[in-house]
Amino acid sequence: EAQVTQNPRYLITVTGKKLTVTCSQNMNHEYMSWYRQDPGLGLRQIYYSMNVEVTDKGDVPEGYKVSRKEKRNFPLILESPSPNQTSLYFCASSSRRTGSGTQYFGPGTRLLVL
């Protein structure tokens, strides 16, 4: 089944404790992206990747890191999480090299930073 998977689905952590949220897709998509969803703000793009080893900042990259060493994986790293990073995170992938492709979203990771 074609899908985007994220792990973990739920995470509670404390300020400053490094964490990684994994994202994997099995559709051979070149493009992958991370979003955060907050009430009243919709989805905001954190980082995106056009292909292996090619990444760029979205609208809210502060406090996050990403890497794209393999085509199927695009982990999101929070090196020193803070309470304002409490949010619902989505990973997405797309096959089009331009921005016109349909994005396929993962199920989301709900993060609480105490």
Partner 1 sequence: AQSVTQLDSQVPVFEEAPVELRCNYSSSVSVYLFWYVQYPNQGLQLLLKYLSGSTLVKGINGFEAEFNKSQTSFHLRKPSVHISDTAEYFCAATSGTYKYIFGTGTRLKVLA
Among 24, 25, 29, 31, binds partner 1 (CB under 8 A): 31
- Residue 14 or 27 with smaller CB distance to partner 1: 27
Distance CA 39, CA 93 (A): 23
Q: Which of 39, 21, 30 is nearest to 91 (CA)?
A: 21
Min. distance of Cβ 66 from partner 1 in angstroms?
A: 13
Distance CA 55, CA 33 (A): 9
CA–CA distances in Å: residue 91 to residues 15, 25, 31, 48, 95 = 23, 9, 11, 10, 14
Among 43, 67, 71, 72, binds partner 1 (CB under 8 A): 43
Among 11, 19, 50, 112, binds partner 1 (CB under 8 A): 50
Sites for partner 1 among residues 53-112 (CB under 8 A):
56, 58-59, 90, 92, 98-100, 102-103, 105-108
Spatial contact of 18 and 88, defined as CB atoms under 8 Å apart? no
Which residues bind to partner 1, rule: CB under 8 A? 4, 31, 33, 35, 40-45, 48, 50, 56, 58-59, 90, 92, 98-100, 102-103, 105-108
